[in-house]
Amino acid sequence: RARASSRGAVRVSASASASAPAAGAPGDSPDSESADSGDPYLTSPRLYPHLELDFKPRLSIPALVSAVTCSWAAVIAYAVFFSKFHLRHYTLSLKALYLEIFSFAIVGAGAFWVVKTLIAEAQEQARLVPASAAADPDSKFARVDGLDVHYKLSVPDSDSDVSTRIVVSCVHGFGANTYSWERATLQPLAEKLNATAVAHDAPGFGLTERVGDLKRYTPRTNAAIARAMLDLAEGVNEEDGSKKEKTWNDVVGEMSSEANDATKTKKKLRARRVVVGHSMGGVAAAIAA
């Protein structure tokens, strides 16, 4: 666990929840043992019932014909353009003839596999939905320097003084997403600490936007987002109270420049800030702090 200093606060612009219905599929009901366990994973309805997560691409008859045609075309092209020497001399040796037939088979099978893979990929791409359509009812999105970050936020159920709250930013590990914290940690953190707890999907995971800039997929970038989540959870904005989005250079500059301490106006924050990281997220949490 690492406590984040308040000097590197990051402003973000947050949007309202964007979600799709997540009601359980008909007939899906947890058994009595699961219901008594209290585990949200066991008692929750089927995740994303509106999405066919078990989809497997299949070749239709027209697609199969196209794949076979392309494989034969590749074999003919290989025979015409790349096998002139072998076609001239294969009669000299039975072994050379076998090698030629084997090479034709390899080319044909390779072409068939490539076409089949491309067709399957096209079917997968056609099924893609926007992040808002795959989101949960309590999903939220914040825009950090043009990057749509998916996050979830929990607050104590009981009424309490907002000025005394702690804000906690939770960073998940490799191959995970906000569900790592949502399952059994986010709400208990909020309740036990009287805190506002927030967990986000790191770039490249979950429903956070994928972009072409590879620099956005580093622990340093994830740390900047974690700090942005602290500001979002606390509701810290500009002096006039407006929500203003900072640029990515501002975010990185606040994290790396120690000269800002002498020139930046000290601002009393209303909450204690904590960053928690699990596994790979621990690296980002340490950087953020």
CB 284 within 8 A of CB 253: no
Decide which of 17 and 197 is more confident.
197
Model pTM score: 0.62
Residue 22 is predicted with a pLDDT of 38
Q: Both tokens of residue 78?
A: 């290989």
The Cα–Cα gap between 16 and 18 comes to 6
* Rounded mean pLDDT, 99-127: 90
Residue 117 is predicted with a pLDDT of 93
Please check the confidence at residue 212 and state whether its pLDDT lies above 70: yes
* 268 backbone dihedrals φ, ψ, rounded to 5°: -75, 120
32-53 pLDDT, tens digit per residue, is 444 455 565 566 565 556 667 6
Beta-strand (E) ranges in the chain? 13-14, 140-144, 147-154, 166-171, 195-200, 272-277
Q: Both tokens of residue 99?
A: 């090698």
Q: Both tokens of residue 58?
A: 């299949």
CB atoms within 10 A of CB 57: 14
216-247 pLDDT, tens digit per residue, is 899 999 999 999 999 888 875 444 444 445 55
Residue 36 is predicted with a pLDDT of 52
Q: Which of 139, 141, 164 is nearest to 270 (CA)?
A: 164
The Cα–Cα gap between 221 and 280 comes to 13
Residue 48 is predicted with a pLDDT of 59
Residue 38 is predicted with a pLDDT of 59
